[in-house]
Structure 1
């Protein structure tokens, strides 16, 4: 059995009014296929170009190991020169990813290749993040800590995306005091006997190609799998819902620091407690006993 997923709607182009009324206000995802064809980045950005422009930069890398007491959330597992990393991506599958990286700040020339699209969102122009991944690498299921609206631009290759709206959180085995689902879940090939609540979750999926833009509404869960080596960029807009804005502020300025403090004091037992709690709460809420 597979997850209950429908295809994310697609449009070739869109006006501000259409985007705001059809997707932003009702908080629905959409793929816009030709939004950035006028960017220099559309023609120029590939792995070879990144290597040419930023090959000397030392970049932080993450792999798919479960979160533990050894590493803080978003703490990299290793690092290497961007030139070495690009060579690795092109040579073989790898689990190493670049996550939430300000490459455009370190390589200002790249800033000339894009501009925030005029789509009706008040975008935070100073916060474009880049993400890189090798063939087969996966980003764990999570939602962004600030609950922002996100425009996600794909470059150099294909990526499978799975989304769930916030309404489906009750089925996703959310970890307490965190913004992730239980990391043992394989959302591409889920085991419904082990994770029975997942069968009731209703979400969306698509495959993003070079130059395509995904709009992810605020608080949407997302999991991504790199079909081929590639990279993407995200630009954010603050939540329109005041409740989400307040929750995002709490997550950013209190929750994550409290969680890191308890993890430091209690160690791996805190991680294990939260994982067990996620299973127990989700199954109890949905009428399942045990796992």
Structure 2
């Protein structure tokens, strides 16, 4: 990838942000980093501004209020697409996602439209998680995979690389998910639009400082949205083109020249009719 933007949303990540930015820059020195801060009350935005002033290729996008992970990433995607980046990366600011695996994800993105740093493929694992939380994540991903017929082991994983062309294809303006269900939403859209998806094993390390943003409300949103999507597509092939893709295909067919055989048959009919 020639130009890479690593997007890290923040909300009260003052203590962990400098370390994660340093690790990203060490792993991929040529990459740009965009901190998307949702007006953190702990002063994370000020820390981000200081990093941007001291370091090249570090940028800050300040948002007025906290609107969820999905809204923050959408804002970051639009910022990056408007500036012509070839690859856009999602990564948490709490250190759970290992920046040292970024080169492997970017290498896979040379052949795939979406690359997920996966906990649940061979070689992937989690560290410092309670057994109950690991079981919950495994079961949630199995439910998502079965309900939506997704060929992905870790559809909820948030360490990702998107090719810019893929993000433009999957119609970001229609994304309504705001919590962690956002990751499932974009995975589903990518598969339905025919994007190539790859998974690279990572070790997910539970945060050592700060508070997790996971809540009962986030889990409820994910459950009802996935169930609703499953009900909508249960009678259709998940890989079928979207309605807009079908319309575009029909329009292209109408514009295309008729085959030579059809033109020859028309010519023979006109000759036989004495025209």
Higher fraction of helix = 2
Larger Rg: 2
Same fold (TM over 0.5): no
- State TM-score, norm by structure 1: 0.26
